[in-house]
Chains A and B, each alone.
Chain A
Amino acid sequence: MTAFAAIADGLRLGWRLIAMARAAIWAYRLRSAFVVAGVALGVAALTIIVASIDGANRKAMEMVNMFGPDAAFVIGGNIESRAVGMRYRTLTHADVQRLRQSLPGAYLVVPMQGKGDVTVRHGTQKTQVANLVGTTSGYAQVWNWPLAEGRDFSEDDVLRGAKVALIGDAPARVLFGERSPVGQTVLVDQLPVQIIGRLAYRGVSGGAHNVDERMILPITTLTQRFNLDRNYFRAIRVKFHAPELMVSHVANLKSLLRDSHRLQEGEKDDFSIITADEVLKFMAMFKGGLVVFLGLTALVAMAAGGFVLANLFYLSVQERRMEIGLKKALGATDMAIMYQILIEAVSLTLIGSGFGLVLGKLMGRLLERLGILELMFSWKVFFFAAAAAIAIGLIFGLRPARQAARMSPIEALK
């Protein structure tokens, strides 16, 4: 026999086995449905897991982009020893002056003061704003956060303590809907301020708060009108030229601040510097935990689906002894029997994975809507699900299939 004829024979037999498998799957549809359901649950879990890992990745990238690879964020106090009661009011006007004048590579130094949870009103509308930030001009630029409309503070606004504000996307939507907030006056607690600019929508949820839920005032206005500390800042943002030199930028920043604060050798920093690298490290830690936890869940889910499949196929092979024995007596080879059972197993797991993908997407939507997980679906998920299904079908279907193939027709047809 030529090789061509052998291939043609193989294809014909393969096609016929697929048709037989299809008939058997339909004939035993209740059991088939159980297998499909078992696999679907496993694949749904896997879908959510892959999507949530992708989602975490995307979120990490978003946070790094928002933070900016060319920026450092200095906060007062040492975050490593804050718990033991160390001073955190350490960043002064003098520090800002010195950084502006003497820090090499820095082109923008913006101090910040803040207050949490204030009420903002406009007419009959009111909303709670998580962050009320006081800053000098350049807030939008220093956070890589463009203004959707209007303008930034001027030097003059900051000097005079002008009653002007930038509004975040979230409160703007609540108070003004689709209308432009620019030029409107709102009440921040009791203080009337005119809105001169609106920050673009950012949509990253930074921990518990929505980043878009904020109002920005000139720092002078904030400290005077809300009676906050006038001597110390909560934080300073610094933007540098040449982000590839960030390591030395940070070293310079650190030694300059240590010198300003007259810290002796061996004394701990009384400030903390956060860069995009730190954010990345934190995100990697967070993601690592997610991968381990969800990975274990996925493994358990897939194994459960696999065992359901294996058990149902053992039952199936026992129940179909007559059919299998008969086919062998009529001339089916061991291989033909084994392939038919494997085709049945893999077909069911593939159908199951299809359902699982849909189920996973629906459950994922729900989780996203409830704000529990950030998800990102892609073709990769589809690919993973199909691969997992084939693997489960082959691994857990193999033993029952071999058992069927080895069945003695004499025993089976007694």
Chain B
Amino acid sequence: MTAALAQLEGLEKSYRQGDQHVYVLKGIDLSIGQGEFIALQGPSGSGKSTLMHILGLLDRPSAGRYRLNGQDVDGMDDAALSDLRNRTIGFIFQTFYLIPYVSALENVMLPGLYSRTAGRRLKARARQLLEQVGLADRMDFKPSQLSGGQQQRVAMARALINDPSLILADEPTGQLDSATSTEIMELISGVNAAGPTVVVVTHDSNVAGYARRRIEIHDGLCRNC
């Protein structure tokens, strides 16, 4: 296995409900290496979404340690987490989440706007990425003028704009037909081959088939980490 990108030790997440603690994650030990392609699977309510949120620095664990790129993230404040998330993580969502009133190009540039990348370089990189996902002729289109598959390609380009080391895709093909799903998964595979680690959350065994490693979460515990 290559060097660890993300390392989780005894990771727990619990909520207070009245005077009871409800455990969503009950102690997860997981190491994700650089360049891996992982499928994160499990029934709904298993805790896989929560694990994904913690991996993506959108949520904090209640107990345990999380090291990303060798940095202990537990002690970081919100602003530092935002910055780290911005630089190291790219998100792809089931429902794309594009800003409806700006063009494809501007949607792709969005994460870069919160980084220190200069505007000109950012724009050039965004164009390059849109060409890469096959949307060279759709850069100035609004999301509503694009098909579902095209919107997800825009979202992929957006996920790549800051050259992240970890891409988190949450049911990336959940809204797409099977032919389009295949195209998107081919693209994601291609991205993974070029360097970044990819974690895909999915119910779909076809999608999971692209991954080289499967992790199954049940009842807040990892079976095969």
Contacts and interface: CB of A to CB of B under 8 A. Distances in A.
Nearest to B52: A410
B78 A9 contact: no
B116 A329 contact: no
B59 interface: yes
Contacts of B116: 9, 12
Contacts, number: 64
B101 A330 contact: no
B85 A331 contact: yes
A16 B113 contact: yes
A13 B85 CA distance: 17
Interface residues of B, number: 29
Contact of B113 (A20, A329, A410): A20
Interface in B145-169: 158, 162
Contacts of B83: 331, 333
A128 to B, nearest CB: 65
Grouping DSSP codes into helix (H, G, I), strand (E, B) and loop, the A interface class, with mixed when no group exceeds half, is helix
B82 A23 contact: no
Nearest to A414: B49
Interface string A319-342: 000110011111111111000000
A282 to B, nearest CB: 59
A409 interface: yes
Interface string B20-43: 000000000000000000000000
A13 B88 CA distance: 19
Interface string B73-93: 000001100110111000101
A330 B111 contact: yes
B82 A326 contact: no
Given A23-B101, A330-B86, A332-B114, 9 more contacts: A24-B101, A327-B110, A328-B82, A331-B86, A334-B79, A335-B79, A336-B114, A409-B58, A413-B97
Interface of A: 9, 12-13, 16, 20, 23-24, 26-27, 322-323, 326-336, 409-410, 413
11 contacts: A16-B114, A23-B101, A27-B102, A326-B97, A326-B99, A327-B110, A331-B83, A331-B162, A333-B82, A333-B83, A413-B93
